[in-house]
Amino acid sequence: MRRTLSLGLFALVIVVGLVLASAHGWAQQAPTAAKTPGGNVPGRDLVVFGDLSIFWGPSNPENCILKSRYKRGEPVGFRVSAIDPKTGDHIEPEAELIVHLSYAGATRDVKMRWRATAQQPERQFWVAKWVVPMDAAPGIVRYTVTAKDKLGRTGEFRPYEVDASQLTIVE
């Protein structure tokens, strides 16, 4: 009986200690400096995220459909948002967003532009278009998007490291 009581008290002390440690933040996981796939790089100042769609133009019914597989000659559309995590507001339209494509052994930078206009003010995001070259080899094209605003704050988007969801050139 005495042994059972001692073990019970020991277990209670351990549980109370863990609860108190958690309440004071002592048991929290340390932040990592590694890049988070499918999202932002910890420690950066802006939240950057986006998607891929086909940019055929407004007269084509297939325009702006989400897609990750493209044939030669098809226009890849990059659509990206960048927000200030403290306010939840989009950063200013003059910010610089760039798509960095790893293609054919080199990195190609494609500058993005702010999409909203006086006629379409609701389109609060950046866009860029890259037409798949006619001599492109089939396979995955890796890309990232970086952002920098007038205050010098930065952010980066990296798509998930899942091959099936990557920008892929197909036959």
Model pLDDT, residue 24: 43
pLDDT band at 36 (very low <50, low <70, confident <90, very high): very low
Model pLDDT, residue 47: 96
User: How many whole angstroms separate alpha carbon 153 and alpha carbon 95?
Assistant: 10
pLDDT tens-digit profile of 61-109?
Answer: 999 999 999 999 999 999 999 999 989 998 899 999 999 999 999 999 9
User: How many whole angstroms separate alpha carbon 53 and alpha carbon 66?
Assistant: 4
DSSP 72-109: TT-EEEEEEEEE-TTT-PBPPTT-EEEEEEEETTEEEE
What radius of gyration do the chain's Cα atoms show?
23
Q: Has residue 7 got a pLDDT over 50? A: no
Looking at residue 123, what DSSP letter applies? -
Q: Has residue 32 got a pLDDT over 50? A: no
Selected residue with higher pLDDT from 76 and 1? 76
Phi-psi group of 94: left, alpha or beta (phi > 0 → left; psi -120 to 50 → alpha; rest → beta): alpha
Sequence spans of domains, the chain: 1-28, 47-169
Q: Has residue 29 got a pLDDT over 50? A: no
Of the candidates 107, 117, 45, 115, the one whose C-alpha atom is nearest the C-alpha of residue 79 is 115
User: How many whole angstroms separate alpha carbon 114 and alpha carbon 94?
Assistant: 8
pLDDT tens-digit profile of 122-162?
Answer: 999 999 999 999 999 999 999 999 999 999 999 999 999 99
pLDDT band at 28 (very low <50, low <70, confident <90, very high): very low
What's the CATH number for 47-169? Answer: 2.60.40.10
